[in-house]
Amino acid sequence: MLVLITYDVNTETDAGKKRLRRVAKQCTNYGRRVQNSVFECILDNAQCIVLKSILADIIDEEKDSLRFYYLGNNYKTKVEHIGVERGTAVDQVLIF
C-alpha cells in the first residue's frame, strides 16, 4: 500500500535538528522524498508498523508531529502531480 508520511519537527535546538535528520533518514530507508517533509512509501502492514514505531520513538511528541495517510493499493488514481518530479517514482524499478 502507498503511505504518505509527513512530519514537522521543531528545530529550535540541536536536539531537534538531530531528530529531524533521524526522521528523514528513516523515511528515506522506506520510500522517496517528494517534498521537504513529505515521503511516499510503498509498505506492507508489517513494514508500516515497524516504521511507525521507529518514527514515534525518534520524535518528541510534545514538540513534533507525524502524519500518516494510507492511500492503499489503488493509489495511482488518488495521486495527481503538477510540476517538477523529484526523483524516480516510488513504484518504479531502479537498476544500479
Band of pLDDT at residue 62, cut at 50, 70 and 90: very high
Q: Return all residues near 11 (Cβ < 8 A) that are at least 6 apart.
A: 17, 20
Count of Cβ atoms closer than 10 Å to residue 39 Cβ: 23
By DSSP bridging, strand 65-72 and strand 38-42 are unpaired
Average pLDDT over residues 12-33: 96
Average pLDDT over residues 10-18: 96
CB distance 71 to 6 below 8 Å: no
pLDDT > 70? residue 52:
yes
Rounded Cα–Cα distance for residues 34 and 16 (Å): 22
pLDDT > 60? residue 48:
yes
pLDDT > 90? residue 77:
no
List phi, psi (to 5°) of 33: -75, 125
CA nearest neighbour of 31 among 41, 44, 21, 17: 41
pLDDT > 80? residue 86:
no
Rounded Cα–Cα distance for residues 54 and 19 (Å): 12
